[in-house]
Amino acid sequence: MDSIIVTGGGALNGQIPIAGAKNAALTLMPATLLSEEPLTLTNMPRLSDIRTMTALLSSLGAEVSALAEGQVVAMSSKTISNHTADYDIVRKMRASNLVLGPMLAREHRAVVSLPGGCAIGARPMDIHTVGLEALGAEIELKDGYLHAKAPGGLKGAVHELRFPSVGATENLVMAATLAKGTTVLKNAAREPEIVDLVACLKKMGAQIEGEGTSTIEIQGVDRLHGATHPVVTDRIELGTYMLAPVIAGGEVECLGGRIGLIEAFCEKLDAAGVSVTETEKGLKVARKNGRVKAVDVTTEVFPGFPTDLQAQMMALMCTADGVSVLEEKIFENRFMHTPELVRMGARIDVHGGTATVTGVERLKGAPVMATDLRASVSLILAGLAAEGQTTVNRVYHLDRGYEKIEEKLGGVGARIERVRAQ
């Protein structure tokens, strides 16, 4: 497996282009299953997860072509020839479950393996299935597969999610676009990726109101047509690269960034002593004065502090002045990076869903092991602040969510290289 070697100690200066959002792209791609006409997505990130979703859609009969060096993906689902999302593909990525709603809506049947992805805790499918059952689907779990059918088609309903799950909201919104009648989703997720999905679905002819709020209303239509849609900026990649000059020193402009995408995160940076300025091209980030101050963080659903930036924020707090408390309220098992940070000299005490971090003046380079996608990049960030060399092993997780990270960080002065597996 590949490794990434980071040599700390140098300030970062320059510009980093931020890619289209992985989580938005993986939601938008299954929307092709809702229509016989072509769907083209631009500003696509070039990631292994996109290739996995491409393989899944192709296995169902969709035609998927990557253009413009992968930044444009053209899809056509004129015919859905297979209704089973197989375990061998689905196990690689949790977002694979997002084919369930569209296939039920258009084909009235689907067989989808229970999903895989990062091992960061239970993310139950029942939020999805209960919602689809409220729309008239019949779903049975057999041998690790969800067998779903809606013989008379899906029907609009009023449904309240027990938790504002992003994936379940996306699945239900897509399913409801072709359902008969009106669907009202309460306690819906409000993330920018959902707003982006709805923008695309509206271009395809869907009738939807309330996106970005906790109540979304969908009036079902008979059919959807083709469209072209640009993927929204990746707010998690944005937040990650915003932390790089804060940890290493220097000033970096993140191209394509907007404070509105990650306002709660920016508020914490401001409290820590970080300057974030909107420019014509994006966001410019630098420390205000010397060492950052410790701040407490609690992860929450949008518009709160994103769970996907918790590990990266912990890396920053490892060298902050003072003691910070990070509370993880979205996923259990999301502190698996802490033993690796401790290997680098961090002082972290974990009890259940709470981590107490006592900042040290300097981390030390060490060989470390990546456990999941966001943990991987937190260790690279920590390496920027460490004395000597940090080797991050098992970086295949990283390639699921960050395109060309060595080029992007190297372009602003980081000493970083990838060592290919022999």
Residue numbering of the annotated binding site for phosphoenolpyruvate:
22-23
Cis omega before residue 45 (within 30°)?
Answer: no
State the amino acid at position 54 in one-letter form: T
Residues belonging to the binding site for UDP-N-acetyl-alpha-D-glucosamine are 94, 308, 330
DSSP letter at 1? -
In three-state secondary structure terms, 271 is: helix
DSSP letter at 96? G
Question: Rounded to whole angstroms, how far apart are CA atoms 101 and 123?
Answer: 17
Cα-flanking dihedrals φ and ψ of residue 199, to 5°? -60, -40
Give the torsion sign (CA, 340, 346, 351, 353). negative
Of the candidates 414, 410, 371, the residue with the CA atom closest to the CA atom of residue 389 = 414
| Alpha helices in 319-371, H assignment, sequence order | 338-343
Q: Would you call 200 a catalytic residue per the annotation?
A: no
DSSP letter at 179? S
Q: Does residue 238 contact residue 262 with C-beta atoms inside 8 Å?
A: yes
Q: Which of 118, 200, 254, 266 is catalytic?
A: 118
Question: Rounded to whole angstroms, how far apart are CA atoms 214 and 57?
Answer: 30
How many angstroms separate the Cα of 404 from the Cα of each of 19, 45, 401? 10, 10, 10
Question: Rounded to whole angstroms, how far apart are CA atoms 409 and 379?
Answer: 14
**Exposure string (b/e) for 155-185, b if CB count within 10 Å is 16 or more?**
bbbebebeebbbbbbbbbbbbbbbbeeebbb
Active-site residue list? 118
